[in-house]
């Protein structure tokens, strides 16, 4: 629950900055984001997603093994892990769409600020999913 609230708050801050001070996140005002919200964003998220998907598969197998050992139903937990894996794939697909459409659609400073903020938000969202999976792993390991 805390993660969802934090993601909503971060989204609100990013939107507020884009509306009030677009130069902070636009390509004209932020050279790092200009160079990052392109193929480098895809490379960064690609590494995160590929490593985490392997890790997610292992966690799913551990939960299945634990379910059989203890003879308890852990279908809800397995579904949550599977949902996290699909969410990471969705984040990567959103980044592909963003990087493809940003040069075409984002022509003003405010539009590039929103595009860059969305790229940052995708990274933060992927980090939140990874954090959730790590917490799940520690819970299974007990």
CA dihedral 17, 101, 52, 54 (to 10 degrees): 170
pLDDT in tens, 53-96: 998 998 999 899 988 998 999 899 999 999 999 999 999 999 99
In this prediction the pTM is: 0.91
CA angle 91/133/65 to nearest 5° reads 125
The angle that helices 2-20 and 109-141 make with each other, rounded to 10 degrees, is 170
User: What is the distance between the alpha carbons of residues 12 and 32, in angstroms, rounded to a whole number?
Assistant: 22
pLDDT in tens, 92-119: 999 999 999 999 999 999 999 999 999 9
Q: Which tokens hold the place of 57?
A: 């598969």
Q: What is the per-residue pLDDT for 6?
A: 95
């Amino acid at each position: 629950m805390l993660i969802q609230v934090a993601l909503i708050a971060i989204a609100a801050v990013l939107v507020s900055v884009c509306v009030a001070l677009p130069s902070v996140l636009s390509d004209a005002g932020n050279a790092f984001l200009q160079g990052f919200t392109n193929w480098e964003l895809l490379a960064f998220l690609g590494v995160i997603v590929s490593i985490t998907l392997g890790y997610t598969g292992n966690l799913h197998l551990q939960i299945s093994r634990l379910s059989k050992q203890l003879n308890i139903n852990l279908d809800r937990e397995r579904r949550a892990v599977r949902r996290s894996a699909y969410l990471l794939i969705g984040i990567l697909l959103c980044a592909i769409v963003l990087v493809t459409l940003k040069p075409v659609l984002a022509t003003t400073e405010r539009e590039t600020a929103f595009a860059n903020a969305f790229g940052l938000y995708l990274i933060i969202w992927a980090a939140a999913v990874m954090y959730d999976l790590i917490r799940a792993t520690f819970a299974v390991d007990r």
